[in-house]
A and B are shown apart, each in its own frame.
Chain A
C-alpha cells in the first residue's frame, strides 16, 4: 500500500518571543514564541534542509518526483522544485513541480504524490512544504506566523505509515489572502474565519470517517493545522477527545508555518507514533484535505533524524525586535555607499555542481581532495595531474573549524561575518561564512556542519550556496 516511507523537517534556529512583540508595540504579550528564518534563509533553503533530513539513510537516486509547496516561493516566476532537486543531487529525469497559492498547498502536493504512486508514474515521490510568511508589524498575525519546512517521502513499499484513504472538500471562502501587490497577508475578522475553518475541517473529517466506516475512537491522534481554539472546536465536533487525541499544533513554540504547518504537525505525530496507530490528518486551507494514516511497525526502524522535535529544542532567541526588522529587511535603511553585490548566471551555471549539491573533487591519481571553485580543479593541487578527477560530496560531511575571523565591517546583515576555514571529515577543506552562531562561543577546533543558504541577491538573482554552522543539536 502507498504511504509514508520517511519524513524530515526543518525549524530555523531563531525564535522571536511573543513577549518581545508585545513589548515593542505596547500590546498584551502572547505566550511562547515563533520560529523565525534567519536573514539568509527562505522557503527554498528551509525546504532543502527538510529534504536532506528526510533522505537520511535513503538512496536519493531512487526518488522519481519532487513537489515543492509554498505560498512564499522566493521566485514569482521560476520553479523552485528544480533547484531543490539539484541541491539534493536527485536524478536528472526526476519530475519536479511547484504547488502554491494556498495554505493547503502541502496537502495538495501530498495528494498529487499519492495519485502519481497509484498511477504508477512514480515509485517514490518527495513532497516538501516550506513557508516564510511576512506578517504586518503590530498585527494579530505577527504573533501567529512562524517559519519552517516539512518533507515527506512517499512510496509503495517499506512504508512507516500507510495512507489508506483521503477525502477533500474545497471552500471558496476568503480567509487569508494576498493580492499580487500585497506585502502582507490580509484576513477578515477572526470570529468569521474560525467559523469557516471549523466547517471545512468538520466536513472533510466526517466525510473520511463515513467513507471508511470509522469513528473518532478508532484513532490514536488527530493532526490538524490551526491555533488551539479552532483545533479544539473542530476536534470536539468530530467526536475526538481533545485532551488525549489531539496532536499539539506547536502554536506556542513554532507558530503557524503556513503551507508547511499541517505536514510539520504530522511529522511531530509520526515521531511519537507506535505501530498500529491510526492518524487522522486534516490540512485546512481553501477547504480541507483529510487523510487516513495507519502506522506500521517500520516506524520504529526509521534512522535518527532531526525532524520537528530536535529542531525545536535547538534554538537561539532573537535579542531584539530591531534584529527581527533587520532579518526581514522591513525598513528603508541608509543608502549603502559600497557597490552592490553582483552575480553572473554563466558562472553559477559552470560551477553548479560545486555550488548546489556542493561537490568537491577527488583526484583519481593521488586521492587528494579539493574544493575546486578557485582554479576549477583541472590540474590537481596535490599531484598536478591534469583532468583526472571524480566528484565527492561535501555537503553531508561534518568538519572541524581550523581557523576563523569575525568581520564587523562586512557588507552583511548579521554582523560579525564569521569567515571560517573548515577541514571536512574524510578530507577536503571548505572556506565559507558561519551562520546560526553565537560569536562568543566560536573557537578553533569546534565541530561544524554545512547548511544551504542565500548568499545575496546581486544582479537580481537569489544567489544560493553553502555556509557552515555549529552542529545543531
Chain B
C-alpha cells in the first residue's frame, strides 16, 4: 500500500460568497466557484479531463456538467452526507494519482435556502429512511447528545459546560467576522452565547452553524505537472476517510465524547503524511464544527489535544489565531457557513489560501504555515463517516 503523500497538487481553488443567497441557484454557485478556480489555475473548462461533484441534495454528475456545459467528459456525483465535499476532492485526487487523468476538477455545492423555514431541510439531518425509529431527530438534537455526555463525563456543571462551548463560538464568530466570504460576520460575547435561545439543549443558537448556500472548487494535477500552472501550489500529504459501523446509539460501549471515525481517518492521514506529533507538526486545523461541541470533540479525537484536555486549551486560547494551534481560523462551519456538500472543499480552500499567504483579509494571515489539516464529517455522533486531509506547501 503506497501513501498518497506528495503525488497530487492543488493548482487552483475557488469559493463563492457563503450565505443566504436568495438570488442564486446551485447552478450559479457551481459556475462561480469553478470559474474562480479556473482563473486561479489559469485554465479553462475545456482543459478539465474529468470532474467530481460532492452534494447531498442534487443528483448525478449533471449537477456539474450542465451549469458548466462540460463537453461529454466523465463527471461523477459523490455523496457522503456532510462529508461530500471532501469526498469529491478525495476521488479526484486518487484518480489523478492513478494517472488516469492529468487535470481534474472537484466541486462541492449545496443550495439549502429554498425551503421556507429555518433549520436544515429534514432530509439532510435525520435518519428519514426509517419510518418510526428515525422519527423527529434533527442534527442539533443528535449533536447535543454528545455535549450532555461530555459535560457529565468531565464533571462540568451545566453552566460550566455551556460556558466552555460559548468560548468556542465566540472565537468562531471572531474569526468569521474578519473573513469577507463568511456567512455570519458578527462578533458575539460569551454572555450573548449563554443567553441565546436554546435550539437543542444544551446547544443554544450560537452553538449552531447557520443554514448556508455556497460552493467551493479545486483543480488538481500530479505534483510533477504542478509547476506548469503555478509555483505556490499546495500538495496533498495525506488523505484518510473512515466510515464507522454506525451503531453508537445502539451499543453500550459507545461514549459519545470521542469520535472514533475522526480518530481513524486522522490516523490514516498522519501515517500517509508521516506525522508523529500532530499538535507540533500541524500549523492549522479546519474542522467540521457544525456545532461548538463538534469542534471540541473533533480536536480531541484527532489527537491535536488530549481527551478531556479541551477545556485547558480553550481557557488558554490555544485554538485562536495566536494560540498554539489555530482551529477554524476561517470562522469554521459555525461562522463561515455550512452548505452541506461544499464544506469539505471549502475547508481546504482556507488552508490553500493560508499556505499561499493569500488570506483575503491580511490580519487573518498566519505568519508561518507549512501544514494544515482539514476534517470533514457526515452523520451524527455514533454514526459518522469522516474524512481527514493533510495539505502542505509546495
Interface residues of A, Cβ cutoff 8 Å to B:
337-339, 341-344, 347-348, 351, 355, 369-375, 381-382, 402-412, 416-417, 419, 421, 423, 427-431, 433, 439, 444-445, 455-456, 458-459, 461, 463-465
Our pick among A403, A428, A458, A459 for the contact of B148 (Cβ within 8 Å) is A403
Q: How far is the CA of A341 from the CA of B201 in the complex (A)?
A: 23
For the A-B complex with A402-B256, A445-B152 known, give 19 more contacts whose Cβ atoms are closer than 8 Å: A338-B117, A339-B121, A347-B131, A348-B131, A403-B152, A405-B140, A405-B141, A405-B142, A405-B147, A405-B203, A406-B198, A406-B200, A408-B200, A411-B136, A416-B200, A417-B136, A431-B249, A455-B131, A456-B132
Binary contact readout B143-156 vs A (1 if CB under 8 angstroms, 0 otherwise): 11111110010000
| Chain A residues within an 8 Å CB radius of B250 | 370-372, 374, 381, 429-431
| Chain A residues within an 8 Å CB radius of B200 | 405-409, 416, 419
| Chain B residues within an 8 Å CB radius of A342 | 128, 131
Best-surrounded residue of A406, A445, A463 (most CB of chain B within 10 A): A406
CB within 8 Å for A410 and B247 given contacts A347-B130, A423-B252, A456-B136: no
| Chain B residues within an 8 Å CB radius of A355 | 132-133
B204 → A minimal CB distance (Å)? 10
Our pick among A344, A370, A410 for the contact of B138 (Cβ within 8 Å) is A410
Q: Quick check: A339 and B123 within 8 Å, CB to CB?
A: yes
Q: How far is the CA of A456 from the CA of B152 in the complex (A)?
A: 32
Q: How far is the CA of A410 from the CA of B199 in the complex (A)?
A: 9
Q: Quick check: A407 and B132 within 8 Å, CB to CB?
A: no
Q: List 16 A-B contacts (CB under 8 A).
A: A337-B115, A337-B117, A338-B117, A342-B128, A381-B247, A405-B145, A405-B201, A405-B202, A407-B138, A410-B136, A410-B138, A416-B200, A428-B252, A431-B133, A455-B132, A463-B132
Number of B interface residues at 8 Å Cβ cutoff, please give it. 46
Residue of A nearest to B249 (CB): A431
- Is B324 located at the chain interface by the 8 A CB criterion? no
| Chain A residues within an 8 Å CB radius of B136 | 407, 410-412, 417, 433, 455-456
B183 → A minimal CB distance (Å)? 19
Q: Quick check: A419 and B142 within 8 Å, CB to CB?
A: yes
| Chain A residues within an 8 Å CB radius of B146 | 403
| Chain B residues within an 8 Å CB radius of A371 | 250
Q: Quick check: A406 and B132 within 8 Å, CB to CB?
A: no
- Is B137 located at the chain interface by the 8 A CB criterion? yes
Best-surrounded residue of A369, A417, A421 (most CB of chain B within 10 A): A421
Interface residues of B, Cβ cutoff 8 Å to A:
115-119, 121-123, 127-128, 130-133, 135-138, 140-149, 152, 197-203, 245-247, 249-252, 254, 256, 383
Our pick among B118, B141, B383 for the contact of A419 (Cβ within 8 Å) is B141
Q: How far is the CA of A463 from the CA of B197 in the complex (A)?
A: 31
| Chain B residues within an 8 Å CB radius of A419 | 137, 141-142, 144-145, 200
Residue of B nearest to A408 (CB): B198
| Chain A residues within an 8 Å CB radius of B132 | 343, 348, 355, 455-456, 463-465
| Chain A residues within an 8 Å CB radius of B152 | 403, 444-445
Q: Quick check: B148 and A405 within 8 Å, CB to CB?
A: yes
| Chain A residues within an 8 Å CB radius of B140 | 405, 407, 409
Q: Quick check: B131 and A444 within 8 Å, CB to CB?
A: no
Q: Quick check: B138 and A444 within 8 Å, CB to CB?
A: no
B160 → A minimal CB distance (Å)? 15
A250 → B minimal CB distance (Å)? 33
Q: How far is the CA of A402 from the CA of B148 in the complex (A)?
A: 9
> What 5 pairs across the A-B complex have the smallest Cβ distances?
A405-B144, A407-B141, A406-B201, A343-B131, A403-B149
Q: Quick check: B251 and A381 within 8 Å, CB to CB?
A: yes
Q: Quick check: B247 and A444 within 8 Å, CB to CB?
A: no
| Chain A residues within an 8 Å CB radius of B143 | 405
Q: Quick check: A429 and B249 within 8 Å, CB to CB?
A: yes
Q: Quick check: A370 and B130 within 8 Å, CB to CB?
A: no
